[in-house]
Chains A and B, each alone.
Chain A
């Protein structure tokens, strides 16, 4: 993953965090501007749904604003905000599952993935492949999905993932292994040929 200027700024946002902790709303606005896209993409890959991702992202920043004062080590802001985002994703996921109508919707959507999108002729196109991968990712257990997102898309080291999620490095690797294997099985079941990528 190539590092952009924004990524560099994200990794060095301690001064903004410090100012925000002192009540500088302008600095917090800049912090939001820096991190919004990253958090949104984490939540979007988690849910595969723009509206849900936007809502969870906003809830994440609300939580960040509310609890920023309690962050003692500002160098760990990166892991801290990811942790909040992941927790918000888990909460929203549970909230959605509690809704019967949404459970039915998810069930239907899962069937739809298997019935519709696993048509090889159709799925070879890049956009549809992306959609299929997104939908497959959604079907993974939340702990595996979280690690995959942290590692694959956020580029965190296993040490950082472990710190963010409060688990050991080996647990993180193990979850990633099972997650990737789960994806592989679903890809095989769908008849999707990744060799042509």
Chain B
């Protein structure tokens, strides 16, 4: 279709947005123009196709705007964060739901003996053929203990035999060398006695020499000390005598001095008396 006005009219007619007069006029035009009518029918079909698209039901995310108002909207960062983290929140919520469903349905996954078990509501039971009973386990344990005991007993018997053999060998060797041990013991006593006597004599000699030397040294020391003490006493005595002599001299000098003074005083008295008499 080439005419723009016809296109516009066609759309207006298709969606019923024409006045009665315009609609009548356009319908007449369509009757006269089969191409226009054909196009109208085609577009009507397209509209029918579009009508298959129905509205989707959707809930507004409660974490963005709750029932009791809009929470945190005044904070731009919080709003952006909520949108950006939306996928993570969705994943987290899905995981929580899965965990909850799993818990409620006793969902369990186990892997044992190269087999993966996935089950609901009932505990997983492995194949009976693969399960050992308590009696079988007890029997296995007892058999193993018996085997161990037998092994240990065998080893003990072997060890006893070896010890017996070695003991017999040792006794035989001991019987073959009795004289040697006896002689060896006798010689040892004599030597010990001799060694003891020698040691005693040597000790006595040493003590005697030590005492003689000690006596000599002590006498010499005592003599030295006495000499030194005598010298000391002699010196002390001489010093005392010197002091006494000096004291006597001083005393003599004092006496002479006093005598001189007395004489002087007497002379003065005499002179005074003579002068008074004169």
- A36: Cβ under 8 A from any B Cβ: yes
Contact across chains for A54 and B86 when beta carbons are under 8 A apart:
yes
A50-78 interface with B by 8 A CB criterion: 50-51, 54-55, 58-59, 61-62, 65
User: Is A10 part of the contact surface with B, judged by Cβ < 8 Å?
Assistant: no
Find residues 122-177 in chain A having any chain B CB closer than 8 Å to their own CB: 126, 129-130, 133-134, 137, 148, 151-153, 157-158, 170, 173-174, 176-177
Considering only residues 1-33 of chain B, those with a C-beta below 8 Å from chain A are: 4, 7-8, 10-12, 15, 17
- A174–B50 touching, CB < 8 Å: no
B136-169 CB mask vs A (1 if < 8 Å, else 0) is: 0000000000000000000000000000000000
Chain B neighbourhood of A153, CB < 8 A? 50, 53, 55
Nearest chain A CB to B39 CB, angstrom units: 8
Describe A's contact surface by its main secondary structure.
Answer: helix
Report yes or no: A65 in contact with B70, Cβ–Cβ below 8 A.
yes
Is the CB–CB distance between B68 and A194 below 8 Å? no
A5 at the interface (CB under 8 A from B): no
Contacts of A40 in B (CB 8 A): 56, 58
Given A26-B69, A40-B56, A180-B46; A58-B83 close (CB under 8 Å): yes
A173→B50 contact, CB < 8 A: no
Count A-B pairs with CB separation below 8 Å.
117
Query: Is A37 in contact with B58, judged by CB distance below 8 angstroms?
Result: yes
Bound Cα distance from A184 to B66, whole angstroms:
43
Asked whether any CB of chain A lies closer than 8 Å to the CB of B60, the reply is: yes
User: With contacts A59-B83, A183-B46 known, is A137 near B65, CB below 8 A?
Assistant: no
Please indicate the chain A residues that have their CB under 8 angstroms from the CB of B68 in the complex.
Answer: 26, 29
What is the minimal beta-carbon distance from A152 to any residue of chain B, in angstroms?
Answer: 5
CB-based nearest A residue for B14: A180
A191 at the interface (CB under 8 A from B): no
Are A130's CB and B79's CB within 8 A? Answer: no
Q: Which residue of A lies closest to B12 (CB)?
A: A173
Least CB distance from A49 to B in Å reads 11
Q: Of the candidates A28, A37, A173, A195, which one forms a contact with B65 in the assembled complex, judged by CB atoms under 8 Å apart?
A: A28
Nearest CB in chain A to that of B55: its residue: A41
B61 at the interface (CB under 8 A from A): yes
Contact string against B for A residues 25-45, beta-carbon threshold 8 Å, 1 for contact and 0 otherwise: 110110011001100110011
Asked if B53 and A180 make an inter-chain contact with CB atoms under 8 angstroms apart, the answer reads no
Taking the complex as formed, is B35 at the interface, i.e. its CB lies under 8 A from any CB of chain A?
A: no
Q: Which residues of A contact B7 (CB under 8 A)?
A: 173-174, 177
Q: Quick check: is B113 within 8 A (CB to CB) of the other chain?
A: no
**Residue among A25, A28, A65, A129 making CB contact with B49, cutoff 8 Å:** A129
The answer for the CA separation of A173 and B12 in the assembled complex, in Å, is: 7
List of B residues within 8 angstroms of A51 by Cβ: 87
B52 adjacent to A130 (CB under 8 Å): yes
Q: A62-B73, A180-B46 are in contact. List 12 more A-B contacts (CB 8 A).
A: A25-B69, A28-B65, A28-B69, A40-B58, A41-B55, A44-B56, A50-B56, A51-B87, A62-B79, A129-B49, A184-B42, A194-B46
Q: Which residues of A contact B (CB under 8 A)?
A: 25-26, 28-29, 32-33, 36-37, 40-41, 44-45, 50-51, 54-55, 58-59, 61-62, 65, 126, 129-130, 133-134, 137, 148, 151-153, 157-158, 170, 173-174, 176-177, 180-181, 183-184, 187, 192, 194-195, 197
